[in-house]
Amino acid sequence: MSKTELINIWEDFCRRNGTFRLTDDIERVQLLAEGVLNNEKNQELKYCPCRMTTGSWAKDVKLICPCNFKVQKTWAEKGECWCGLFIRS
């Protein structure tokens, strides 16, 4: 999968949800897409580029992007996911 394909999937995810969008910071989006794809290449799953995996499946499954970011403290406080990729509309 290319970065463009992944970003298109994220944009579609936002459109279908309707309550959040991607950040306007295009460079950040590109960097995060690259990080996610690197994690997939090295660790076989699209892990969050901003957090470390632990080796525990039960914990690491929660790091697959997009994660359940609406339960994060940063979502409640700032209206964005931990990496600042998804932003409350």
At 65, list the tokens: 């992007």
Q: Could you tell me the smallest distance in angstroms from the CB atom of residue 70 to ligand SF4? A: 10
User: Closest CB to ligand SF4 among 55 and 81?
Assistant: 81
**Could you tell me the CA-to-CA distances from 52 to 16, 20, 32, 58 in Å, in that order?**
29, 25, 14, 14
Beta bridge partners of residue 20, listed in sequence order: 88
Q: Could you tell me the smallest distance in angstroms from the CB atom of residue 68 to ligand SF4? A: 8
Binding site for ligand SF4 (CB under 6 A): 32, 48, 50, 65-67, 69, 81-83, 85-86
User: Closest CB to ligand SF4 among 9 and 50?
Assistant: 50
